[in-house]
Homo-oligomer: A and B are copies of this chain.
Amino acid sequence: MTQVGARATGLPVVGMVGAGQLARMTHQAAISLGLTLRVLAETADDGAALVTPDVEIGAASDPEAVRRFAKACDVVTFDHEHVPNDLIAGLAASGVVVRPGAAALRYAQDKRAMRQRLGELGIPVPKWSDDPAALPRPYVVKAVRGGYDGRGVWMVGESDPLPSGDVIVEEKVTIVHEVAVQVARTPSGRTRCWPVVETVQNDGICVEVIAPAPRLSHTLNAQAQALATRIADELDVVGVLAVELFEAPGGLLVNELAMRPHNSGHWSIEGSTTSQFEQHLRAVLDWPLGDTRSRAPFTVMANLLGGPSTNLAKTLPAALEAVPGCSVHLYGKTPRPGRKLGHVTALGDDVDETRARARQAVAVLRGDVS
């Protein structure tokens, strides 16, 4: 890696395409390590653009903007999946160090390609097809590209019309729990997992993450970690890989992959010795990975989705008063109902008490209670 943007310390410049909350929290980790995080932001108001000085404004889909941005970076990585795959491949061909690479990222960008590939590897996924007639209704229809936070996913009953666009159909799985596991992998193939977490969804949006997953058996925990590590190895992922899984009556099924820090890993900022943001930086730099031991028996992360109040200057101090022992993370966004504005993390010995604390802080922040 040639140091193109080295500062007085000689430490590398990591470029992140996209400047949302993931880049914002990655910047906090980069500050500790003495790294420079450079971000490519759509607008100057993006969460990370508000808090870091090394910002280039441009669209992640604009080849010229991405190339100009990459020139001042030692390694380029991503805050989201919306960079065209051929653009990423072209960057790498021109000598830019891109991690994860285009070949791996394809499986986080294209649900069809991911399911095909995991199927070839014998990794369990829900039954799916390109052909709507191949599965009995009701089934789930998913957009092949661009879906997130419940968008791009439709439950389709007996008489519902089929959503248009490039979609696949998938069996409606009987879900015992939803869980997720993250693993970091370096270019030299070292890996390190965090404990499997339980994710609690509401209308397809993750509202809560409990680490470790309190209701998952030891066997399934080990299986999930082995599965994630195998996927990272087989797909040659570099950086953090998040694997979202269904625990179904017959075992684990892979639902989604993300090759970047992920909402299911925000708990690790306070809850783990090494956060997913620091680990992602270490992995894409091919540096040694950090210890992923937990700092408490339970860590609970609750997402803050915009609620009745838009006055954070009032609800934030109220939440800090109501719950002195929680950590609040805001993303710099203008409050709007339903918008993901931040998250709250609580650590504790008892899972129910810890969940109650995180949820109470979120309720006060939203203005549901005062």
Contact = CB atoms under 8 A, between A and B. Distances in A.
A327 B69 CA distance: 30
Interface in A267-295: 273, 282, 285, 287-291, 293, 295
A207 interface: no
Q: How many interface residues does chain A have, given as a range? A: 35 or more
A365 to B, nearest CB: 10
5 closest pairs, A vs B, by CB? A34-B330, A291-B325, A8-B334, A288-B321, A291-B324
A10 B324 contact: no
18 contacts: A6-B313, A8-B334, A9-B312, A9-B330, A9-B333, A10-B311, A11-B312, A11-B313, A25-B31, A28-B31, A32-B330, A34-B330, A34-B332, A51-B53, A282-B320, A288-B317, A291-B325, A293-B325
Contacts of A51: 27, 31, 52-53
Interface string A325-367: 1011111111100000010000100000000000000000000
A183 interface: no
A296 interface: yes
A86 to B, nearest CB: 32
A97 to B, nearest CB: 15
A8 B45 CA distance: 9
A4 to B, nearest CB: 13
A31 B26 CA distance: 11
A12 interface: yes
Name which of A53, A282, A313 has the most chain B CB atoms within 10 A of its CB: A313
A3 interface: yes
Contacts of A291: 324-325
A263 interface: no
Nearest to A44: B53
A185 to B, nearest CB: 16
A320 B21 CA distance: 26
A156 B7 CA distance: 42
Contact of A27 (B31, B332, B335): B31
A33 interface: yes
Name which of A45, A50, A55 has the most chain B CB atoms within 10 A of its CB: A50
A302 to B, nearest CB: 15
B273 A325 contact: yes
A109 interface: no
A320 B290 contact: yes
Interface in A245-269: none
A36 B49 CA distance: 12
Interface in A292-322: 293, 295-296, 310-313, 316-317, 320-321
B50 A50 contact: no
Given A9-B332, A10-B312, A290-B320, 11 more contacts: A8-B332, A9-B330, A9-B335, A10-B311, A34-B328, A52-B52, A53-B53, A285-B317, A287-B320, A291-B325, A295-B347
A285 B232 CA distance: 45
Contacts of A55: 53
A24 interface: yes
A266 to B, nearest CB: 11
A34 B316 contact: yes
